[in-house]
Chain A
Amino acid sequence: MLNEALGQGASALRGNPLRSALGALAIAVAVATIVIVVSALDGVRRYAEANTARTFGSDTFLIAQVASPGRISRREVREQLARNPAIRRSELAFLTRYADDTVLYAPNAQTRASVSSAGRRLDEAAITGTTAMLAEIRDLNVVRGRFFRAAEDPDGSQVAVIGADVVDALFPSQDPLGRAIRIAGRRFDVIGLQGRIGSAGSGSLDEYVWIPLRAYERAFGAPRSLQIFARAAPGLEPVVGEDRARVSLRAARALPPGVADTFDVLTPDAARGFVANLSGRIGAAAGPISLMALLAAIVVVTNTVLVSVTQRTREIGVRRALGARRSQILAEILAESVLLSVAGGLSGAVAAWGVLSVLGRLLDVPLIVAPQTVAWAIAAAAGSGLIAGWYPGRRATRLDVIGAIRSE
């Protein structure tokens, strides 16, 4: 019976190709709009996630005095500042000593300062003090030269690894390796160069200058509180590393059981949650607007099917007189409506895919249409078809048979 209904529906659609095409076009436009909006939001989220991974490393977590993604209330900040003592170098040493090959730690202290070399100057470079371990924790993309050696921090060596923007600004025509740069009046030797990484939302990731923490402290003074980047040793679950770090720092601070942590641990998940929240807000505005388009399309399909029913009044009357059941007629009309909508939905999804791939190429961002988005869009189109077919279907099944046969 379903087959028959589908066959009848399809032939009704074919009987009036122009009208059917316009009805399907309405659904196609609405579905394409929805798919584009959803995929664009998805693209924003993916882009932000990729950036988090680039700035942060995807398994990296951060231990800090106060670190919270997004907005937390000022009272919470004040309470955390009052409760959480600054993180000191001695605590980092303790953590490193009891890491037991399960966690890798690297300190991080950053300031914005200018860096110069032979008359050229770059303002606002991100000068970051750290240790050799950072290269094990995150991919720093050192393409030439090397990152620090373990001994260069305790030795207080004045060496630096510089990002691509720094290279462009200071050494436009020379090989920077082995040359000297000046930071806060001190001389540093360039030992490594980073490849171009790109930007993360707010700023370029290529204007970094990495120097050993001890040299950083000499140039800028000891930071009030250290941040510590950490990750579980290769082969271990990320959770194991987080637990170990937490337990160790609690031990270092002699926190009795039941007392809350006096430090914050920020995981990439938490950082991502903030971005997801943001794109959710954009979606809250764009979603209803694109759903209105689908609503308008449903009305157009309803009208198309209604016309088709009206024109076949006589035919329906005759068939009913010959014993066709109401459910059969209803199934046919619903089939017509759903087929029309699904066809529209499919072409809309294809059109959206085309638009997005062209846009993605133009803007140089990967805009991917996820298969589940397409599946949902088609399902929404089919659902719209059911809703659109309901009113014409009801009209057809409630026809007065005699009157219908007599109608012109």
Chain B
Amino acid sequence: MTRRHDLRRALGEAGGLAIDGLRSQPARSALAILGIVIGIVTVVMVASTLVGLRNSVALLFRELGTENIFAYHLGGEPYSAPTELDAQRPQLKPEYASELERLGPSIRDVGLELIVPAVTSTRALTARAGVNEADTVLVEGVSPNFYDVVGAEFRGGRPFTATEERVRAQVAVLGASVSRALFGGADAVGRSFLLGGDRYFVVGELAPRKGTFFGENRNDSVVAIPVTTARRKFPDARNLVLYIRARPGAREQARAEAGTILRLLRNVPRGAEDNFSMNSADQIIAQFDRIGAQIFLATIALSAVSLAIGGLGIANVMIISVTERTREIGVRLAIGARRREVRLQFLIEAAILSGAGGVIGVAIATLLGVLVAFVAPGFPAAPPLWAVTAGVITSVGVGVLAGYWPARRAAALDPVEALRYE
């Protein structure tokens, strides 16, 4: 007989005994399983919500183009108010775009995005069409090639033309939420609206972005007008972001070239620090992950408490089970069962309890995830496959951990004492 065969027999026997043990006490076993179910449902739901959130944020930045380098003159991020130190840095100029395209062999093209502060101490911009008012619009001036550079999808209409840019036309491309808010979901192309006292005609309408942060994406709220129009209408807009698209696979080269060219254009002396910043989607996501990791860990730890309590429940049931079957264990040991086998029997019993809890828990969490997705679309709660697998494995692990001490107690029993036990 091979060793493996021996092990399989031992496992089969121990497993059979374990199942018999569980069957004899259905209510108790069911409650022990329920404890694990509660723990696993909590952990899986929390983990998949967090991961879903993170992925959707990552998508939010990837939608800006993974091959793109973003350059802006501020030290922080371009969407928040500049500090005084940043404000002293010279702004980026739209002319840089053509220079970068001309001088950088790895640079394919450069899109422009001028961010117009919507709320200042003297104005608060809203967009109005008839009785509808969009209260949370973000206003940006963009170049005709911008949507091609970021790869945005149009629901209808077209990007700006070079002519519209040259003559500073009062035309606009609307993000999905703005379009819905102003025109109620009807075709917006060809219609007009008021922004800051001026009338603009809609030439294009974007499809909703896929990446979200709690169901929102700032780009869906953007009213884009030609960058030249924006510079004339909103002379206080200073934050120009260059979207530098690299040739395929040459992003890091493009970044190096762009850095050199920008330093040259901006007369940064040798050895001095850059007076502009460059970023890419991957970099921003990595930054987000660094900040998010602690929150992620704390939340997972909090949700793991209920799983640990479920484990305590298993440990308790196993201790009771060992105590009740002291005599039986004594008999088995007396007629030649090995201590290892006794230990295995109780470990398997614990693993079956917690494994069942894990499977049921994951099933319930999946169901709940589907339900949440149905009730609140955009809120990611459906557990991915890895969470399902991890949930079941963790629960079995918790069970074995919880069952270890009782199983050792059982295996360490003195057969003579155990036989005498009443």
- A residues bordering B, Cβ < 8 Å? 18-19, 22-23, 25-26, 29-30, 33, 37, 73-75, 77-78, 81, 111-114, 123-124, 224-225, 285-286, 289-290, 292-293, 295-297, 299-300, 302-304, 306-307, 310
- Given A81-B122, A112-B83, A300–B305 Cβ distance below 8 Å? no
Q: Is the CB of B319 within 8 A of A22?
A: yes
CB contacts (< 8 Å) of A285 on chain B: these are 299
CB distance from B116 to the nearest CB of A (A): 13
Output the nearest chain B residue to A66 by Cβ-Cβ distance: B121
Given known contacts A74-B124, A77-B119, is B135 in contact with A303 (CB within 8 Å)?
no
| B19 contacts chain A at the CB level, 8 A cutoff | no
The 3 closest A-B pairs by CB, nearest first: A78-B124, A300-B313, A303-B31
Contact B35 A299 (CB under 8 A): yes
Report the minimum CB–CB distance from A28 to chain B (whole Å).
10
Name the one of A75, A111, A112, A290 contacting B302, with C-beta atoms under 8 angstroms.
A290
Residues of B within 8 A of A33 (CB): 302, 305
Distance A26 CA – B305 CA, assembled complex (angstroms): 10
Minimum Cβ distance to chain B for residue A380 (Å): 14
Once A296-B313, A299-B34, A307-B28 are accepted as A-B contacts, the answer to whether A73 and B305 lie under 8 Å apart by CB is no
Chain B proximity of A340: nearest CB distance (Å): 12
Q: Say yes or no for B315: interface residue by CB 8 A criterion.
A: yes
| Chain B nearest Cβ from A406, distance in angstroms | 18
B131 on interface, CB distance cutoff 8 Å: no
B343 shortest CB reach to chain A, Å: 19
- Sample of 19 more A-B contacts, CB < 8 Å, known A286-B302, A300-B35: A19-B320, A30-B305, A30-B306, A33-B305, A74-B125, A74-B126, A77-B119, A78-B123, A113-B84, A224-B122, A289-B42, A292-B39, A292-B41, A292-B42, A292-B306, A296-B306, A296-B307, A300-B313, A303-B32
B317 within 8 A of A: yes
Closest to A288 in B: B42
Which B-chain residue is minimally distant from A77 (CB atoms)? Answer: B124
A residues in contact with B121, CB < 8 Å: 224-225
B124's contact among A30, A75, A124, A299, by CB below 8 Å, is which? A75
Q: Given A19-B316, A74-B125, A112-B84, is A26 in contact with B309 using a C-beta cutoff of 8 Å?
A: yes
A307 to B308, CA, bound (A): 21
Between-chain CB contacts (< 8 Å), 30 pairs: A18-B319, A19-B319, A19-B320, A22-B316, A22-B319, A29-B308, A30-B305, A33-B305, A73-B135, A75-B124, A78-B124, A78-B126, A123-B84, A124-B84, A124-B85, A285-B299, A286-B299, A286-B302, A289-B299, A289-B306, A292-B38, A292-B42, A292-B303, A297-B309, A299-B35, A300-B310, A303-B35, A306-B28, A306-B31, A310-B25
Give me the interface of B with A, judged by CB distance under 8 Å. 25, 27-28, 31-32, 34-35, 38-39, 41-42, 46, 83-85, 118-119, 121-126, 133, 135-136, 299, 302-303, 305-310, 312-313, 315-317, 319-320
The distance in angstroms between the C-alpha atoms of A33 and B315, with both chains bound, is: 20
Q: Total A-B residue pairs with C-beta atoms closer than 8 Å? A: 119
In the bound complex, do residue B309 and residue A300 qualify as a contact, i.e. CB atoms below 8 Å apart?
Answer: yes
Name the residue on A nearest B310 (C-beta).
A296
Output the residue of A225, A297, A300, A310 with the most chain B CB within 10 A. A300
Q: Is the interface of B mostly helix, strand, loop or mixed?
A: helix
Residues in A neighbouring B118, C-beta threshold 8 A: 74
| Chain B residues positioned under 8 Å from A224 (CB to CB) | 121-122
Supposing A112-B83, A306-B27 touch, asked if A29 and B309 sit within 8 A by C-beta, the answer is yes
Query: Contact at A22–B28, with CB atoms within 8 Å?
Result: no
Nearest chain B CB to A39 CB, angstrom units: 14
A303 CA / B126 CA spacing, docked (Å): 60
Chain B min CB distance to A138 (Å): 24
User: A111 — which chain B residues lie within 8 A by C-beta?
Assistant: 84
Question: Do A123 and B122 have beta carbons less than 8 Å apart?
Answer: no
Do A29 and B31 touch across chains, with their CB atoms under 8 A apart?
A: no
Residues of the A chain whose Cβ atoms lie less than 8 Å from the Cβ of B25: 310
CB distance from A112 to the nearest CB of B (A): 4
Considering the chains assembled together, what is the distance between the CA atoms of A25 and B32 in angstroms? 15
A328 to chain B, nearest CB (A): 23
Which residues of B are found within 8 Å of A302, using beta-carbon distances? 31
> Are B125 and A29 neighbours in the complex by a CB distance under 8 Å?
no
Docked CA distance A81–B305 (Å): 50
Q: Which of B28, B84, B308, B313 has the most chain A CB within a 10 Å cutoff?
A: B313
| Whole-angstrom CA separation of A25 from B316 in the bound complex | 10
Interchain nearest-CB distance for A362 vs B (Å): 16
Residue of A nearest to B38 (CB): A296
A225 to chain B minimum Cβ distance, whole angstroms, is 8
- A20 vs chain B, min Cβ distance (A): 10
Min distance, Cβ B284 to any Cβ of chain A, angstroms: 22
Kindly state the separation between the CA atoms of A74 and B299 in the bound complex, as whole angstroms: 34
Indicate which residue in A73, A81, A296 contacts B39 across the interface (CB closer than 8 Å).
Answer: A296
Kindly state the separation between the CA atoms of A111 and B83 in the bound complex, as whole angstroms.
11
A124: chain B residues at CB < 8 Å are: 83-85
Distance of A109 Cα from B108 Cα, bound (Å):
48
Known interface pairs A112-B84, A124-B84, A295-B306. Does A75 touch B133 (Cβ–Cβ under 8 Å)?
Answer: yes
Give bound CA distance, A225 to B83, whole Å. Answer: 20
> Given A29-B308, A285-B299, A289-B303, are A81 and B124 also a contact pair (CB < 8 Å)?
yes
Contacts of B32 in A (CB 8 A): 303
A230 to B44 Cα, complex, angstroms: 52
Residues of A within 8 A of B136 (CB): 73-74
In the assembled complex, the Cα of A289 lies from the Cα of B298 at a distance in Å of 12
Q: How far is the CA of A81 from the CA of B310 in the complex (A)?
A: 57
Asked if residues B309 and A75 are in contact (CB atoms below 8 Å), the reply is no
Known: A290-B305, A292-B303. A300 touches B312 (CB 8 A): yes
Q: How far is the CA of A73 from the CA of B85 in the complex (A)?
A: 30
Using Cβ atoms and an 8 Å threshold, which residues of chain B touch A81?
Answer: 122-124
Q: Measured between C-beta atoms, what is the minimum distance from B356 to chain A in Å? A: 14
